[in-house]
């Protein structure tokens, strides 16, 4: 009996590995097709063909195009690990360095060319597909906001900053980064943000947030 049980477990593990492999292939193909053809032009059949699976197999994993697009967005968030709690940040670091470290994965996501192209897809088609408007926020902004606020709350518990609501400050900080690395490049395709300029812009964003925190400490 134990031998048969072991065989069944191994078989189920194998099947699960196959399913997960197909799902991953579908998500990667979906990203390529969405970026090449846009949301409207990305047919489910074309995505299935790119992933080398049947259309029936694709629909077993994803009920419709929106759930598949959601999976593409979620995959990017997972790749860049922007939603994890800030437990990896040394709480004794100076605030500027702590903010730099806690923001690093989000900045990397925002500077990635595929992220820029994904935003272009969303913005260009949101009038025809209103459900896409929420993706602007799920593509990094909301998950990172929770991480940033958790870090600021951690600093407040240590007495490093005032214990206040950090939501508005987090939104302003994220808005600056998103504007510089996404929207400025979308509306000015010739914009070239060098590493040196990026570092300067990010220092300014951190200084703005820290300045606001210091004012609250005084008040």
Last residue within a domain, chosen from 20, 52, 74 = 74
Indicate if 153 and 104 belong to the same structural domain.
Answer: yes
pLDDT of residue 199: 96
Average pLDDT of 151-177?
A: 94
Last residue within a domain, chosen from 27, 49, 74 = 74
Say which DSSP state 181 is in: I
Report the alpha-carbon distance of residue 20 to residue 215 in Å, rounded.
50
Give ∠ CA 41-180-217 in degrees, rounded to 5. Answer: 130
177-190 pLDDT tens trace: 999 999 999 988 78
Indicate if 198 and 135 belong to the same structural domain.
Answer: yes
125-147 pLDDT tens trace: 988 988 888 887 877 788 899 99
Report the alpha-carbon distance of residue 7 to residue 26 in Å, rounded.
29
Q: Flag whether pLDDT at 9 surpasses 60.
A: no
Indicate if 29 and 9 belong to the same structural domain.
Answer: yes
Indicate if 98 and 184 belong to the same structural domain.
Answer: yes
Indicate if 128 and 195 belong to the same structural domain.
Answer: yes
pLDDT of residue 133: 82
Report the alpha-carbon distance of residue 155 to residue 95 in Å, rounded.
8
Last residue within a domain, chosen from 29, 56, 74 = 74
Indicate if 179 and 93 belong to the same structural domain.
Answer: yes
Could you tell me the maximum CA-CA distance found in the chain, to the nearest angstrom? 72
Quote the percentage of the chain above a pLDDT of 70.
Answer: 95
Residue-range definition of the domain harbouring residue 35: 2-74
Reported residue count of the chain is: 219
pLDDT of residue 192: 84
How many domains does the chain fold into? 2
Indicate if 70 and 94 belong to the same structural domain.
Answer: no
Q: Flag whether pLDDT at 15 surpasses 80.
A: no
pLDDT of residue 216: 82
Beta strands per DSSP E along 2-144 = none
User: 151 and 102 in contact (C-beta within 8 Å)?
Assistant: yes
User: 135 and 122 in contact (C-beta within 8 Å)?
Assistant: yes
Indicate if 65 and 128 belong to the same structural domain.
Answer: no
Give ∠ CA 197-200-206 in degrees, rounded to 5. Answer: 140
Higher pLDDT among residues 206 and 216, named by residue: 206
152 CB-contact burial (10 Å; exposed 0-12 / middle 13-18 / buried 19+): buried
Q: Flag whether pLDDT at 117 surpasses 60.
A: yes
CATH number at residue 118: 1.10.357
Question: What confidence tier does 74 reach under pLDDT thresholds 50, 70, 90?
Answer: confident
Indicate if 66 and 103 belong to the same structural domain.
Answer: no
Average pLDDT of 167-196?
A: 92
Indicate if 67 and 97 belong to the same structural domain.
Answer: no
Indicate if 58 and 85 belong to the same structural domain.
Answer: no
User: 216 and 162 in contact (C-beta within 8 Å)?
Assistant: yes
Indicate if 99 and 135 belong to the same structural domain.
Answer: yes
pLDDT of residue 2: 55
Report the alpha-carbon distance of residue 106 to residue 129 in Å, rounded.
26
Quote the percentage of the chain above a pLDDT of 90.
Answer: 65
CATH number at residue 12: 1.10.10.60
78-110 pLDDT tens trace: 888 888 899 989 999 999 999 999 999 999 999
Average pLDDT of 63-82?
A: 90
Q: Flag whether pLDDT at 206 surpasses 60.
A: yes
């Amino acid at each position: 009996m134990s031998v048969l049980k072991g065989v069944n477990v191994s078989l189920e593990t194998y099947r699960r590995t196959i399913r997960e492999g197909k799902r991953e292939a579908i998500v990667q193909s979906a990203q390529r097709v969405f970026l090449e053809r846009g949301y409207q032009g990305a047919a489910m059949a074309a995505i299935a063909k790119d992933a080398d699976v049947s259309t029936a197999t694709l629909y077993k994993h994803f009920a419709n195009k929106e759930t598949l697009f959601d999976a593409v967005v979620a995959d990017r968030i997972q790749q860049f690990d922007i939603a994890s709690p800030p437990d990896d940040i040394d709480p004794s670091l100076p605030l500027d360095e702590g903010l730099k470290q806690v923001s690093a994965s989000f900045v990397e996501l925002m500077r990635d060319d595929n992220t820029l192209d994904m935003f272009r897809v969303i913005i260009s088609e949101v009038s025809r597909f209103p459900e896409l408007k929420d993706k602007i926020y799920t593509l990094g902004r909301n998950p990172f906001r929770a991480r940033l606020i958790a870090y600021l709350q951690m600093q407040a518990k240590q007495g490093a900053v005032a214990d206040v609501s950090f939501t508005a400050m987090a939104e302003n900080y994220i808005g600056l980064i998103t504007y510089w690395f996404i929207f400025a490049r979308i509306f000015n395709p010739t914009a070239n943000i060098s590493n040196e300029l990026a570092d300067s812009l990010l220092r300014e964003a951190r200084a703005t947030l820290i300045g606001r925190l210091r004012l609250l400490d005084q008040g």
